Structure 1
Amino acid sequence: MRRLFVGILIASCANAGANDCVILLHGLARASASMDKLDDELTRQGYSVMNHPYPSRHKKIQQLASSEIPLALDKCTAKGEVHFVTHSLGAIVLRQYLNDYSIERLGRTVMLAQPNQGSQVVDKLKGIPGFKLINMRNDTVIKQVIFS
């Protein structure tokens, strides 16, 4: 399945060169390791990849956007376009950033499983005892994902 997504990104960036950077943003309660296979494949394809870890459970979406996207962009040292591959909450964080700021060298964006209308998984699991404890320090992000 991940090969399909990598193929989509590569096809959408057919003119991308070795000077292009791809920033990977994981989903809620995940780690950058969840994007490692994508990182490996994109690196093999010649992209400069920034698999950016961020504290998805500990800050509001707007705080994540204004603090984490600039950090990832600063680490993208390639001089070409900057592309994004996001999963779930990573897409919402990027969308929030792009609502407030612009990215000068923005190339393509591939958003995987973005919860535009909330998350059915979260909707079903949020009432289970311990769900919030395991997935968040506070429920700020979960409320934003469900009610945004």
Structure 2
Amino acid sequence: MFFLFLTAPAVSAKKQETIVLLHGLGRTCASMYFLKTQLENIGYTVVSESYSSTDRSIKEHADWLNTIINDCCVESEKIHFVTHSLGGIILRLHLKVKQYPNMGRVVMLSPPNKGSQVADFLKDWELFQFVMGPSGQEIGTTPDSIPNKLGPVEFELGVITGDVSFNPFTSLLIPGPDDGKVSVESARVKGMKDFIVLPHSHTFIMNSQEVIDQVISFLETGNFSHPEKD
């Protein structure tokens, strides 16, 4: 019996921790596949499911998220979140009404935490309304938009955003540095613990190895790995 005890494989503590991934507007869980795979490779249980981002309101998405968490994560040692774009706003709304005793850390990628100027400009276009649905109408920069009504975050949050744009048209609509859809300034939110800007665009930021390394750094230490300044 003593010999069996010595040779039994140790169970990684990380396997008791779950990460929920939330993709952005107009995307599916496939957009988070590379990130999901790397997080699983280091021992996390990862939940990544598609939601109908262009068919429902942000409130309806938050209700969907509640169901997902109840099904997968309430017994996990820790539950963490990594979100892209709209996914961060859905999570913020959800966590305003729901608290978890096993709440871990959150990393948001390119979140429109203060709203999107692109959404402001396009909201009355019928094509934009058709393609982006109700949620696209709710992420503007006005005081009554959902991002700007949520207030400071009250969880351990790190934000990664980009400053590279491949869309000169949308960048003309956005003041200051931007990633093609969200300004660097708009990604900030009161209460966040850490913030870093990396040279990537909005659409593919989650596929960057540099970004994934920073996600892992924050999940495991509560901080990003900032380059040393001379």
Q: Which runs of 5+ in 2 are unaligned?
A: 1-12, 147-230
Q: Equivalent residue of 2:115, what SS? A: coil
Q: Is the 8 A contact 2:65 2:94 kept in 1?
A: no
Alignment partner, residue 127 of structure 2 = 130
TM-score between both structures, scaled by the size of structure 1: 0.77
Alignment match, 2:81: 84
Task: Report if aligned partners of 1:86, 1:111 keep a CA contact under 8 Å in 2.
Answer: yes
Distance in 2 separating the partners of 1:126 and 1:30: 19
Aligned equivalent of 1:144: 138
Tell me: CA distance 1:67–1:128, structure 2 relative to 1, closer, same or farther (3 Å): closer
Bigger fraction of residues in helix: 1
Please identify runs of 4+ aligned residues in structure 1 that moved more than 4 A: 124-129
Task: Supply the RMSD in Å over aligned alpha carbons.
Answer: 2.2
Q: Distance in 2 between matches of 1:129 and 1:70?
A: 32
Map 1:24-103 → 2, pairs under 5 A: 24-76=21-73, 79-103=76-100
Higher relative contact order (CA 8 A, sep 6+): 1
SS in 1 for 2:111: coil
Count of residue pairs the alignment pairs up:
131
* SS of the residue 1:22 aligns to: strand
For 2:90 and 2:119, how far apart are their aligned partners in 1?
17
The structure with more radius of gyration? 2
Partner Cα separation in structure 2 for residue 66 and residue 128 of structure 1: 28
Matched-pair identity in %: 37
Equivalent position SS for 1:145: coil
| Contact in 1 for aligned 2:21/2:46 (Cα 8 Å) | yes
For residue 124 of structure 1, report the CA deviation from its aligned partner. 4.5
Which residue in 2 is equivalent to 1:8? Answer: none
